[in-house]
């Protein structure tokens, strides 16, 4: 018996209508691809069995063990959807699509038939004891039973073959999977595979990567000390390595910094950013390209109004006359120019690199992008203590420490802690030093103030996706701090003052109220349904920064209902928002496509080398995942069964044939490893029994084999039911997001 199980499934979430259409088309390719992987595995068993002289009575993709009756009808699904007899073998497709099998004479994966099958090959062998075989290979084969008796077996039966021959037959399926895994990946690379390079685009403030000093624009060359640096490492390779490493030990990472220096970092992943799944992360995102993405309805309102209008896939080549040498330059330059109008030089109508196409010549345009004011409620929250100091930063050099509380900057109060990072962006070259007053409490509990001189540096990124409940960073000096939900100051003419908020009030809940149902539906198409529920504010991921980010994505007429406590009494009010005149969104609403590349081999040899590397990496990945499951580093809830496999395959197939082939390579590695586990009913279980027979000189007791095989089948079916339940749970969450 051969069974398929994938350890993790990835899914895309586009619009429902287009999703259904493309998935329907992709499923045709998926069905063919999955059938091919199973077929290849069984073909390995079949070919080697025939080469060893074993009679193969059945060759099935899927199982024909059961006949399914449709409830409340007289209809039933037959054991096989298709079958044909060709020579001595029946070829077919079983109605239970959970794997496949080759039925050899004397061997049956259905435990109910094991005793009958054993008796059949003995009776057939001695049916005509007085006859002399015309060919030597047709003579009955003597074999030892568990009781030590000698019996005659049909010479073409599986048990009549030597232990090495049977081992070759059993292992052939796994070997074929690995061989075709290499071939599938080689074909994919020959056609070109789109990959996300392992280049860091953003580093989350206060995250493990941020704290050790990893900066945007860094290129990851190696994860772990084993192996060698690899220029074409993918971002997904990093993600997988982090998950497998867990969050209880350091992960060595070799990085080439933007200045060209290669540096080893020891980073300990954290699960703080993924508290629900406890998924370890470093706190990095992949790099964006210089290609503009213009959103369509319903989120077009988030895109800036420019002169002239930007178009989808315009390529940014300069900002305010400064050429873009690397993709990370875009974020860095925007971070240093938060206010005022900036000028983008874009190339339109060319290839991804800006070159000409056969359709039309590219043109160069100058586009003015206005500043994008942040929206607020006319109140500032209190700043929290510093939670992280970036290694090698100006703050570390100045002596600023974790748990310090910033109270003054250049002799003035800090004001709104959310806008403080923007106000400390250097405005001169070289940057002028700043005086930072911090409050520090020593081990004896004595609080004191210290004035430290810090020389800021031009930031490499801005607080964009980082306003999601985590710390806020002053990138120019390298500190990260939390923002509390206690009001520090209120603008006299702002919505907060009109609602009655005052310094010292503690905001406990927030709820966003779209102007009408039409606007609610529009917002719901770009935001999860969770964002429309009342938010209980805390000092973790549902902090004031989370509420602030949610406000920036709201439609202009959306109101916010706040609940706060004062002197133990609860109050609430519905507020409008107001645009700031001093605090701006550095991104200006610009969106960029992810940076990707086409990896295409130039020769057959290179294709095979890349295919071999891909297969070996996926094989190693599966082994590490199994080890992590056994040791508890990964939760079993990450498993996926047949629905998840099909769903993930359809997602890959929708991205093109090469992506589907890469998925099938990964699936082949899964099948190879999982089918070779020492579990009765799988290939590995058969190998275990054969190894015992080789050592003992006689087979394992048939009744024991049957009992162990039944137990193995029960365990496997239970595992598949569990994995399928996990898939159903994930699909239910997606449907809930679609329909609110």
CA distances from 371 to 329, 525, 579, 737 (A): 19, 26, 12, 32
Asked whether residue 411 falls in the same domain as residue 525, the answer is: yes
Task: Report how many helices (DSSP H) and strands (DSSP E) the chain contains, helices first.
Answer: 16, 35
186 touches 610 (CB < 8 A): yes
Asked whether residue 416 falls in the same domain as residue 364, the answer is: no
The predicted structure's pLDDT at residue 556: 86
Out of 520, 544, 576, a domain closes at 576
Q: Residue 132: which pLDDT band, with cuts at 50, 70 and 90?
A: low
Specify the range with the lowest mean pLDDT, choosing from 605-614, 646-655, 663-672: 646-655
Average pLDDT over residues 213-226: 93
Sign of CA dihedral 371, 376, 382, 385: negative
The predicted structure's pLDDT at residue 334: 95
User: What long-range pairs does 536-541 form, CB within 8 A, spacing at least 24?
Assistant: 536/508, 536/509, 537/485, 537/507, 537/508, 537/509, 537/510, 538/485, 539/384, 539/482, 539/484, 539/485, 540/275, 540/469, 541/273, 541/275, 541/468, 541/469, 541/470
Name the token pair of 686. Answer: 């058969």
Burial 56-76 (b: 16+ CB within 10 A, else e): bebbbbbbbbeeeeeeeeeee
Q: Which of 311, 185, 195 is nearest to 662 (CA)?
A: 185
- Give a yes or no: residue 240 inside a domain: yes
Average pLDDT over residues 289-295: 91
Q: Which of 437, 439, 454, 443 is nearest to 404 (CA)?
A: 439
- Give a yes or no: residue 694 inside a domain: yes
495 touches 578 (CB < 8 A): yes
d(CA 581, CA 493): 13
The predicted structure's pLDDT at residue 22: 56
Q: Which residues contact residue 604 at a Cβ distance below 8 angstroms, ignoring those fewer than 6 apart?
A: 190
106 touches 160 (CB < 8 A): yes
d(CA 319, CA 346): 9
Asked whether residue 441 falls in the same domain as residue 509, the answer is: yes
Q: Which domain holds residue 149?
A: 111-129+137-160
Out of 544, 576, 608, a domain closes at 576
Asked whether residue 623 falls in the same domain as residue 671, the answer is: yes
536 touches 542 (CB < 8 A): yes
Asked whether residue 314 falls in the same domain as residue 426, the answer is: no
Per-residue pLDDT tens over the stretch 587-621: 999 999 999 999 999 999 999 999 999 999 899 88
Name the token pair of 354. Answer: 């800006």
Name the token pair of 262. Answer: 């290669």
Q: Residue 458: which pLDDT band, with cuts at 50, 70 and 90?
A: very high
d(CA 398, CA 455): 8
- Give a yes or no: residue 430 inside a domain: yes
The full DSSP string for 424-442 is TS--SSSPPPEEEEEEEE-
The predicted structure's pLDDT at residue 143: 64
SS3 256: strand
Average pLDDT over residues 269-297: 79
- Give a yes or no: residue 342 inside a domain: yes
Percent of the chain's residues with pLDDT above 90 = 49
CATH number of domain containing 262: 2.30.42.10
d(CA 634, CA 626): 9
The predicted structure's pLDDT at residue 72: 74
SS3 389: strand
> Does residue 219 carry a pLDDT above 70?
yes
Name the token pair of 288. Answer: 């964006």
Asked whether residue 351 falls in the same domain as residue 390, the answer is: no
- Give a yes or no: residue 67 inside a domain: no
The predicted structure's pLDDT at residue 468: 63
Q: Residue 3: which pLDDT band, with cuts at 50, 70 and 90?
A: very low
Name the token pair of 270. Answer: 């954290």
- Looking at the structure of the chain, the number of domains it has is 5
Average pLDDT over residues 514-529: 81
Q: Which residues contact residue 320 at a Cβ distance below 8 angstroms, ignoring those fewer than 6 apart?
A: 333, 337, 342, 343
Q: Residue 486: which pLDDT band, with cuts at 50, 70 and 90?
A: very high
372 touches 355 (CB < 8 A): no
Specify the range with the lowest mean pLDDT, choosing from 432-441, 602-611, 704-713: 704-713
pTM higher than 0.75 for the full model? yes
Q: Please, which residues bridge with residue 348 across strands? A: 363
The full DSSP string for 637-650 is GG-B-HHHHHHHHH
d(CA 582, CA 4): 58
Q: Which of 619, 668, 644 is nearest to 187 (CA)?
A: 668
CATH number of domain containing 335: 2.30.42
DSSP 204: -
SS3 646: helix
Asked whether residue 282 falls in the same domain as residue 313, the answer is: no
| Greater model confidence, 557 or 114 | 557
Name the token pair of 669. Answer: 């590695």
Task: Give the pairing type, strands 89-94 and 56-63.
Answer: parallel
Asked whether residue 539 falls in the same domain as residue 568, the answer is: yes
**Residues 333, 338, 343, CA angle at the centre, nearest 5°?**
60
- Give a yes or no: residue 73 inside a domain: no
- Give a yes or no: residue 220 inside a domain: yes
Asked whether residue 507 falls in the same domain as residue 565, the answer is: yes
- Give a yes or no: residue 68 inside a domain: no
Asked whether residue 397 falls in the same domain as residue 503, the answer is: yes
The predicted structure's pLDDT at residue 645: 74
Per-residue pLDDT tens over the stretch 354-406: 444 445 688 999 999 999 999 999 999 999 999 999 999 999 999 999 999 99
Asked whether residue 493 falls in the same domain as residue 439, the answer is: yes
> Does residue 18 carry a pLDDT above 60?
no
Per-residue pLDDT tens over the stretch 61-81: 888 877 777 777 778 778 888
> Does residue 568 carry a pLDDT above 50?
yes
The predicted structure's pLDDT at residue 280: 83
Q: Residue 10: which pLDDT band, with cuts at 50, 70 and 90?
A: very low
The predicted structure's pLDDT at residue 126: 58
Asked whether residue 220 falls in the same domain as residue 281, the answer is: yes
**Residues 300, 303, 307, CA angle at the centre, nearest 5°?**
120
User: How much is the mean pLDDT over the chain?
Assistant: 84
d(CA 256, CA 221): 7
The predicted structure's pLDDT at residue 357: 46
| Greater model confidence, 110 or 652 | 652
SS3 479: strand
**Number of neighbours of residue 298 by Cβ within 10 angstroms:** 16
């Amino acid at each position: 018996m051969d069974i398929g199980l994938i350890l993790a499934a990835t899914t895309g979430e586009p619009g429902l209508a287009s999703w259904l259409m493309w998935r329907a088309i992709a499923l045709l390719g998926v069905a063919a691809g999955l059938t091919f992987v199973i077929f290849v595995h069984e073909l390995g068993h079949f070919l080697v069995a025939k080469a060893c002289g074993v009679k193969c009575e059945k060759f099935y993709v899927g199982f024909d063990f059961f006949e399914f009756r449709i409830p409340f009808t007289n209809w039933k699904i037959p054991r096989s959807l298709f079958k044909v007899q060709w020579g001595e073998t029946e070829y077919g497709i079983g109605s239970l699509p959970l794997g496949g099998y080759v039925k050899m004479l004397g061997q049956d994966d259905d435990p109910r038939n094991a005793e009958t099958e054993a008796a059949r090959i003995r009776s057939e062998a001695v049916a005509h004891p007085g006859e002399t075989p015309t060919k030597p290979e047709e003579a009955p084969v003597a074999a030892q039973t568990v009781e030590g008796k000698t019996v005659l077996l049909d010479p073409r039966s599986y048990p009549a073959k030597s232990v090495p021959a049977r081992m070759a037959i059993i292992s052939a399926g796994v070997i074929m999977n690995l061989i075709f895994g290499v071939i599938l990946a080689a074909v994919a690379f020959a056609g070109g595979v789109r990959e996300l390079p392992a280049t860091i685009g953003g580093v989350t403030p206060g995250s493990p990567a941020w704290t050790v000093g990893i900066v945007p624009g860094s290129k990851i060359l190696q994860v772990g000390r084993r192996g060698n640096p690899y220029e074409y490492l993918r971002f997904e390779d990093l993600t997988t390595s982090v998950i497998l490493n867990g969050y209880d030990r350091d992960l060595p990472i070799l990085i080439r910094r933007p200045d060209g220096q290669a540096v080893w970092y020891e980073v300990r992943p954290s699960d703080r950013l993924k508290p629900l799944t406890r998924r370890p992360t470093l706190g990095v995102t992949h790099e964006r390209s210089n290609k503009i993405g213009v959103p369509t309805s319903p989120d077009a309102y988030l895109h800036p109004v420019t002169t002239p209008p930007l178009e989808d896939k315009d390529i940014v080549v300069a900002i305010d006359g400064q050429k873009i040498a690397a993709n990370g330059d875009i974020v860095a330059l925007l971070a240093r120019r938060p206010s005022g109008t900036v000028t983008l030089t874009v190339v339109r109508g060319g290839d991804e690199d800006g070159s000409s196409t056969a359709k039309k010549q590219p043109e160069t345009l100058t586009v003015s992008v206005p500043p994008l004011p942040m929206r607020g409620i006319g109140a500032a929250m209190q700043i929290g203590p510093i939670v992280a100091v970036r290694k090698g930063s100006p703050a570390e050099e100045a002596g600023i420490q974790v748990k310090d509380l910033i109270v003054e900057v250049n002799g003035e109060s800090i004001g709104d802690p959310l806008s403080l990072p923007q106000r400390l962006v250097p405005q001169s070259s070289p940057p002028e030093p700043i005086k930072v007053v911090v409050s520090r409490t020593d081990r004896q509990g004595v609080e004191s103030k210290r004035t430290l001189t810090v020389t800021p540096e031009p930031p490499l990124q801005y607080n964009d996706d980082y306003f999601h409940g985590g710390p806020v960073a002053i990138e120019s000096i390298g500190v990260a701090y939390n923002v509390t939900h206690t009001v520090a100051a209120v603008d006299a003419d702002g919505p907060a003052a009109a609602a009655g908020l005052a310094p010292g009030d503690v905001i406990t809940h927030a709820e966003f109220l779209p102007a009408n149902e039409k606007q609610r539906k529009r917002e719901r198409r770009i935001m999860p349904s969770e964002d429309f529920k009342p938010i209980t504010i805390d000092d973790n991921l549902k902090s004031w920064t989370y509420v602030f980010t949610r406000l920036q994505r709201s439609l202009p007429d959306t109101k916010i209902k706040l609940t706060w406590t004062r002197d133990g009494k609860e109050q609430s009010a519905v507020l409008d928002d107001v645009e700031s005149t001093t605090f701006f969104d550095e991104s200006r609403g610009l969106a960029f496509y992810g940076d990707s590349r086409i990896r295409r081999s130039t020769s057959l040899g290179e294709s095979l080398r890349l295919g071999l590397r891909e297969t070996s990496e996926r094989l190693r990945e599966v082994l590490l995942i199994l080890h992590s499951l056994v040791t508890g580093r990964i939760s079993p809830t990450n498993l996926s069964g047949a629905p998840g496999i099909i769903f993930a395959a359809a997602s890959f197939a929708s991205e093109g044939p090469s992506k589907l082939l890469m998925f099938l390579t990964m699936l082949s590695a899964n099948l190879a490893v999982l089918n070779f586990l020492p579990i009765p009913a799988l290939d590995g279980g058969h190998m275990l029994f054969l190894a015992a027979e080789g050592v003992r000189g006689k087979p394992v007791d048939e009744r024991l084999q049957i009992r162990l095989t039944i137990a193995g089948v029960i365990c496997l079916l239970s595992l598949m039911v569990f994995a399928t339940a996990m898939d159903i749970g994930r699909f239910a969450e997606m449907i809930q997001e679609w329909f609110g």
